[in-house]
Amino acid sequence: MDRKPLTSRQLAKLLGVSQSTISRTFSRESSVSPKTREKVLKAADQLGYRPNAIARILSKHESDIVGVVTADILSPFYLDLLNQLSVKMQKNGLHPLLFNLPAGADGADQLDVLRQYNVRNVIVISGRIASSAVAKWAEDGRSVILINRKMDANVGSVRSDNTASSKLVADHFNDLGMKRVAFIGGPTGTPTSMEREAAFTQRVAELGMTLCAIGGGQEYSHEAGVEAVKSVIGKEPEAIFFANDRLAIGGMFALRGELSLRVPDDISIVGFDDIDMAAWTGIELTTVRQDVTAITDAAMTLLEAAILGQPGATDSVEIPCALIERKTTRARRNSPA
Amino acid sequence: MDRKPLTSRQLAKLLGVSQSTISRTFSRESSVSPKTREKVLKAADQLGYRPNAIARILSKHESDIVGVVTADILSPFYLDLLNQLSVKMQKNGLHPLLFNLPAGADGADQLDVLRQYNVRNVIVISGRIASSAVAKWAEDGRSVILINRKMDANVGSVRSDNTASSKLVADHFNDLGMKRVAFIGGPTGTPTSMEREAAFTQRVAELGMTLCAIGGGQEYSHEAGVEAVKSVIGKEPEAIFFANDRLAIGGMFALRGELSLRVPDDISIVGFDDIDMAAWTGIELTTVRQDVTAITDAAMTLLEAAILGQPGATDSVEIPCALIERKTTRARRNSPA
DNA sequence: TTGTAAGCGTTATCAT
DNA sequence: ATGATAACGCTTACAA
């Protein structure tokens, strides 16, 4: 019923103090006598007074709203990321204004809107946003933090270490005695997928295994995994590394179903991400775990630096991944290993 | 580099018009001559002027920010919901400010924050927010739209029709010639799960089948599905209805794996939601589809009504669900059907 | 149609 | 430590 919230001016009048006194008791380091501060705080609490955030933003030119730009949040991995990010932001008094890029959008419009809201800091989870838009944003004194994406521009980024972890997979296959291995990638041209492929390929060669096939190139979807496996199975790989878990699980189902092969007895497979499904009874996929907690923690650190104007805000941090061995890899049959 | 965005006052001076003229050309139905309007628009475009949203909100007391309160967005179903909701909001010039309730939060604080931002409209996806907080919000002239949740208070809601669709499942089992069926629910006390159970139970009785077991009561998780199936299998049900797809898929894996039963040859199962996994090769779960598109469309309709102050904003709309028959149900063995 | 001026609810800079 | 008062960038009567 109290349609109009109390303003600082009204509260001030009620307490017989000046409006600035109210303002001061609600801003950090300001000079108010403990006595009046307490009086104000108590009255505010009783009457339900809250400083108006919009007015504060207008006056201070800085808001505690943080733009979060995403696109195609299909994967549970992104969900997890968004989840953790949003609770951590809240814990720090920051509020995520969400922008989900529709098909075809390059993010420039969205950043424009953010600018209208006096937002200075943005976290980008989507790979689809245009570099030029990001660069322009960063140029006029605003900050952007890229997740799992790299850019030359002067922006912060936090990414999983695709290179080291993909080598881990090659090493694992080698330990298992594999000779012929395959890679199944995500959409052609995706930096992430390309990095994983390059590192895996290189390490495979170093170890003297042969990369007998490369598949994928479509979407990061279950069905793409199914199809890719079929296109690759003719080359008789003993082990397949998939660019993510969805592909891998699709591949596993195709292998066990239509192709009548046993995983891991006949063929080993490894995914990437460690989405929660990967651990499920009946799936138990060996995979590379992206440390979402570490990623979001790092992102928050960069964000805090950006807000405080500290130098670290444009750091580029790389988060190590771990190989989680579950039940889809096994030593090669007839292998001495 | 242009750290300070152009203001309407500066633009006005540049064009030799008054500041209000600028304001007027950017507000809907205002009296500006076509000539000056065009002049202003052109200059604004060239110089990159954008009206400052924060100042507008402060002045107009209404913002195009919409609060979105969620919790435990684990399920792909919620992901889909959030995804669609966010793109549809954007399409209407609305911006979702995301609040992800941390464990133990009842949402009151989050609504308080929203109030500080002059936001009037909130969409609640979480079942965890306290009714009292919602009621209080609705009372002081603000609107809330509940998704898949019902409340007595004067608030809008859009929900899937749990009752009718659960009966559909019972009918399906009956058509298949089943005699003994079971239900596996979500967390005890969850309204959604209770509704599904009640309707299913009632219809099962009406059709003369026997409900031989009720399981679940833990989380909506894969592992809970695995465990629940084990606890229920002793009663020898011929078909099981799960309160959601995650449970059902967990149950299916347990059935096919540890329990060595064939699905659907030995036992039929049906889920709820129709998350994308349900359609995957190798899963192909028969399930009740929640029409996320219809749900989000309805939510947007309510939202628009709320914004325009129209009466429909507190409607309670129910969205029908469809039974999607895939490969986890089959006529009972030795059944005449 | 256009301009003037008074808010909107803060913060910040002065005095006192 | 506290109180005036001028921004902040807009919207909106009211006047011209």
The string of pLDDT tens digits covering residues A244-296 is: 999 999 999 999 999 999 999 999 999 999 999 999 988 999 999 999 999 99
Q: Is the CB of B116 under 7 A from strand C?
A: no
- Could you write out the DSSP letters of every residue in A124-154? E--S-S-HHHHHHHHHTT-EEEEES---SSS
Residue-level length of chain B: 337
* Domains of chain B by start residue, with CATH: 8-51 (1.10.260.40), 65-159+292-319 (3.40.50.2300), 162-290 (3.40.50.2300)
- Please name the member of B73, B96, B282 whose beta carbon is closest to the beta carbon of A257: B282
Verify whether the Cβ–Cβ distance A99 to B86 is below 8 Å. Answer: yes
Which of residues A218 and B30 earns the better pLDDT score?
A218
Q: Each residue of A26-42: b (16+ CB within 10 Å) or e? A: beeeeebeeeebebbee
Residue A152 pLDDT grade (very low, low, confident, very high; cuts 50, 70, 90): confident
| R_g (Cα) of chain A, nearest Å | 26
Q: What is the pLDDT of residue B103?
A: 86
Instruction: Report the DSSP beta bridge partners of residue A67.
Output: A97, A122
What's the mean pLDDT when you consider all of chain B? 93
User: Which chain A residues have a beta carbon less than 8 Å from that of B54?
Assistant: 54, 57-58, 63, 116-118
Verify whether the Cβ–Cβ distance A223 to B280 is below 8 Å. Answer: yes
A vs B: CB pairs below 8 A:
153
pLDDT digits (tens, 9 = 90+) for A14-49: 999 999 999 999 987 778 899 999 999 999 999 999
User: Which chain A residues have a beta carbon less than 8 Å from that of B133?
Assistant: none
Query: Among residues A288, A251, A278, which one has the least CA distance to residue A166?
Result: A288
Q: What is the pLDDT of residue A336?
A: 46
Q: What is the pLDDT of residue B336?
A: 46
Q: Is the CB of A9 under 7 A from strand C?
A: yes
pLDDT digits (tens, 9 = 90+) for A182-214: 999 999 988 999 999 999 999 999 999 999 999
Is-contact A280 B250, C-beta < 8 A? yes
Nucleotide of closest approach to B61 (CA, C1'): C8
How far apart are the CA of B269 and the nearest CA of chain A, in angstroms?
Answer: 17
Task: Answer yes or no: pTM beyond 0.85.
Answer: yes
Is-contact B203 B172, C-beta < 8 A? no
Verify whether the Cβ–Cβ distance B76 to A76 is below 8 Å. Answer: yes
Is-contact A138 A302, C-beta < 8 A? no
User: Which chain B residues have a beta carbon less than 8 Å from that of A63?
Assistant: 54
pLDDT digits (tens, 9 = 90+) for A315-326: 999 999 999 999
- Please name the member of A79, A95, A282 whose beta carbon is closest to the beta carbon of B79: A79
- Please name the member of A90, A226, A254 whose beta carbon is closest to the beta carbon of B102: A90
Q: What is the pLDDT of residue A2?
A: 55
Q: What is the pLDDT of residue B334?
A: 65
Q: What is the pLDDT of residue A337?
A: 42
Nucleotide of closest approach to A31 (CA, C1'): D1
Instruction: Report the range of poorest mean pLDDT among A310-314, B3-7, B153-157.
Output: B3-7
| A268-273 and A239-242 strand pairing | parallel
Nucleotide of closest approach to B21 (CA, C1'): C2
Q: What is the pLDDT of residue B104?
A: 87
